[in-house]
Amino acid sequence: MNKMLLNFCNFIFGKHKSNTLPRYWILLADMVIVLFAYVVAILLLYFRDIADSGFDWSRIWIVPITYLVAFLITQTYDGMLRYSGFNDVRKILYSCTGAVFFLVIGKLILSQFNPGLASGIFPRYAIIIYHYLITMVLMVIMRLTIRRLYNEIYKNSSSRLNTLIYGAGDGGTMLLRTLSQDTASLYKVIAFTDDDPHRMGIQINTVKVYSPSIALTEDFIRKYDIKVMILAIPSLNDDRRKELIEKGLALNLSVKSIPNFSQWVDGTLKENQIEDIKIEDLLGRKPITLGKENVSREIKDKVVLVTGAAGSIGSEICRQVMHYNPTELVMLDQAESPMYDFQFEMNNAPEFKDLRDRMAFVITNVKDPLRMREVFEEYRPQVVFHAAAYKHVPFMEENAYEAVFVNVFGTKLVADLAMEYGVEKFVMISTDKAVNPTNVMGATKRIAEIYTQSRQGQTKFITTRFGNVLGSNGSVVPLFRKQIAKGGPITVTDKRITRYFMTIPEACSLVLEAGSIGEGGDIFVFDMGEKVKIWDLAEKMRQLAHRPDVEIIETGLRPGEKLYEEVLANEENTIKTDHEKIMHAVVRKYKADEVDTMLEKLHAELDTCDPMKIVAQMKIIVPEFKSNNSVFSALDK
């Protein structure tokens, strides 16, 4: 029987693009229903009269013509029957009501002038009303029946994943409807689970709601062969969300979630909006959010320059800055391909479609004095966010010359031009590796901090320090993902190693907020929560990928790498700001002439291209710089 239905549907739908009936077929079917309903209405009302003496069918023409016009006006036929829903029912209601309104009012008006003509053209009132009700019911039934048949016949049940939905409220109900209507859906909803005791045992479209104590058990999961759990409560608090994710992973489920209601397209949830759980959801720290008033005051109607704009941090700063309506945003980077991709993204972002004329993209290196001067001369920035830097620790251990040239003297060049051209605020992105540095990269960032902090005048110099950023280019999370995809092993340098983590949007919020509240010479740090063990991070990522077979191995600390990162140096303290999660670091101050002398000596060593001499001078400038690299550790004696 199913095979016969399938062949019939293939015959009907298969000749047409996307298995969609032509609109005139649907209109023709609706008109057949109109005629059929007219016959049924007459038979219901006047069956005996027809049986005795027959019935005059000459007045039937006015009804189908009226309904045809109504259908053409409301376009009841303009839709896919397999996706019929409330909007289609509403169209049917409007069209049929309009038609019956015309018939009743038309007959009333004509009866006032020519009762005989009115009786000859229009059917009786009872027929009009009965016909109206029957037509509406049959049209709705036809659409729902076709939708049901199509879904049942074309639905590929064999390859669908049995799914448990957590949340039996509006989000879960909408999710069930979305998955049920999509014949290509990957998910087959088996059950709901919800914390609300009042929902236990009820059914939503034949799907039963269970308590978590029943549904989130090995017996239940095994009994119904459930493979996926989808969290359908976007407002779920962080602790409960983390608990459910970990419970689902422990049951070997693929855990997913739906986005916040504000992100639904036209108030409708699509299956492609179902999101995979991210590692951020399992880190055990609450995201930091900041206000927007201060930032808006500092950026709105100003020219903003962002260096390193194509990088993870720089690009997110640019995205956030554009929301504050700057006069112009100048995005600068030396990396051509990433910059090309970022330009394409920004130019095609719907939220920035009216701001494209305020965006400028520049390819250059921050250590190029001629080109950088040209940029400042042309655009005259008022606020600078300096994100350009080399950041990979092992790489910079092998390339001390480039690390110093870009991170120190590139920063110095941009800072000097900022002062010369009257920039109001210069915000430098630093790192927790600048605290008690054990590597070249961290030491270069500390020297850059020292230089900018020693500059005083019209331009206010502000520094922000934060830890590792999840998902940034070259960070540990993308590396682990690649290693898992290749089947492992996941490489962790040391089982004891820990790091602070924050998300890219959080890090960039800090940078923008620091730029708004800083008064010059400031170094701001975040309360970043608890440190995360990299080994545990690898374990959680392996869980998320459902790859228990992937091995995690220790490879040993790399040159210059620390076991533990710090946010403040030993002799530094912090002072609270007006923001609970932002602290002002109290650090050693340097005089400008003292710093200039130190940098002159460093530049002299740079001219030798001798990494030992370069690093030796860096250790003089930053006495707390103690190398973990055996090549440079001899200089500490």
3-state secondary structure 262-285: HHCECCECCHHHCEECCHHHHCCC
- Annotated active-site residue 433? The verdict is yes
169 and 147 share one domain: no
Q: What confidence category does residue 267 fall into, taking pLDDT thresholds of 50, 70 and 90?
A: low
Residue 380 has pLDDT above 60, yes or no: yes
Model pLDDT, residue 627: 85
Q: Cα–Cα distance between 511 and 316 in angstroms, integer?
A: 11
Considering 233, 250, 277, which residue would you say is the last residue of a domain?
277
In terms of domains, do 105 and 245 share one? no
For 523-582, write each residue's pLDDT tens digit. Answer: 888 766 677 888 888 888 888 887 888 889 988 877 767 677 665 554 556 777 777 677
Residues 389, 249 share a domain: no
Q: Are residues 121 and 268 in the same domain?
A: no
Query: In angstroms, rounded to a whole number, what is the distance separating the alpha carbons of residues 70 and 96?
Result: 7
Inside any domain, residue 34:
yes
Per-residue confidence (pLDDT) for residue 21, from 0 to 100: 60
Q: Report the distance separating Cα 409 and Cα 599, nearest Å.
A: 9
Among 229, 249, 277, identify where a domain stops.
277
105 & 198 share domain: no
pLDDT 10s digits, 437-476: 889 999 999 999 999 999 988 999 999 887 777 766 667 8
Taking the CA atoms of residue 591, residue 592, residue 594 and residue 598 in that order, the dihedral angle to the nearest 10 degrees is 130
Between 534-544 and 476-485, two packed helices, what is the crossing angle to 10 degrees? 40
Which helix or strand (DSSP H or E) is residue 298 part of?
helix 293-299
In a shared domain, residues 314 and 191:
no
pLDDT at position 11, please? 42
Q: Are 625 and 520 part of one and the same domain? A: yes
pTM: 0.67
Q: Over 80: is that where the pLDDT of 73 sits?
A: yes
Integer-rounded Cα Rg, in Å, for the chain is 35
297 and 271: one domain?
Answer: no
The answer to whether residue 381 is domain-embedded is yes
Instruction: Say whether both 414 and 344 belong to one domain.
Output: yes
pLDDT in tens, 81-127: 555 666 777 888 888 888 888 888 877 887 777 776 766 677 777 88
Tokens of 226: 């459930």
Residues in the chain, total: 637
Would you state the pLDDT for residue 410?
96
Across residues 9-36, what is the average pLDDT? 66
Reported as a single tens digit per residue, the pLDDT across 203-228 is 888 889 999 999 999 999 999 999 98
Catalytic residue among 188, 433, 460, 581: 433
Q: Tokens 């920063």 map to which residue?
A: 411
Q: What is the dihedral of CA 143, 149, 153, 155, to 10 degrees?
A: 60
Quick one: 540 and 567 in the same domain?
yes
Q: Within this chain, do residues 338 and 409 fall inside the same structural domain, yes or no?
A: yes
For 414-447, b/e burial (b = at least 16 CB within 10 A) is bbbbbeebebebbbbbbbbbbbbbbbbbbbbbbb
Does residue 11 lie within any of the structural domains? yes
* Amino acid 308: pLDDT: 94
Q: Is the pLDDT confidence value at 19 over 60?
A: no
Give a yes or no: residue 286 inside a domain.
no
Cβ atoms within 10 A of the Cβ of 289, count? 10
CA 145, 151, 152, 154 dihedral sign is positive
Residue 193, pLDDT above cutoff 80 = yes
Q: Are 253 and 229 in contact (CB under 8 A)?
A: yes
Model confidence band, residue 158 (pLDDT cutoffs 50, 70, 90): low
In this predicted structure, what is the pLDDT of residue 1?
46
Q: Which domain holds residue 497?
A: 293-633
The CA-CA-CA angle for residues 584, 586, 590, to 5°, reads: 125
CA proximity to 235, closest of 196, 261, 209: 261
Domain assignment present for 476: yes
User: What CATH number does the domain containing 461 carry?
Assistant: 3.40.50.720
Q: Does the residue 523 lie in any domain?
A: yes
3-state class (DSSP) for residue 187: strand
What pLDDT sits at residue 370?
96
User: Does 368 score more than 90 pLDDT?
Assistant: yes
pLDDT-wise least confident of 165-169, 210-214, 474-478, 511-515: 474-478
Q: How many other CB atoms are found less than 10 A from the CB of residue 203?
A: 10
Residues 6+ apart with CB under 8 A from 533: 496, 497, 498
State how many domains the chain has: 3
Type of residue at 502: M
Torsion of CA 464, 466, 469, 475, to 10 degrees: 100
- Comparing CA positions, the residue from 297, 300, 322 lying closest to residue 309 is 322
**288 located within any domain:** no
DSSP 404: I
Q: Is residue 245 part of a domain?
A: yes
Closest to 119 measured CA to CA, from 101, 132, 107, 102: 107
Percent of the chain residues past pLDDT 90, beyond the cut: 29
Query: Among 219, 253, 277, where does a domain finish?
Result: 277
Query: Do 351 and 408 lie in a common domain?
Result: yes
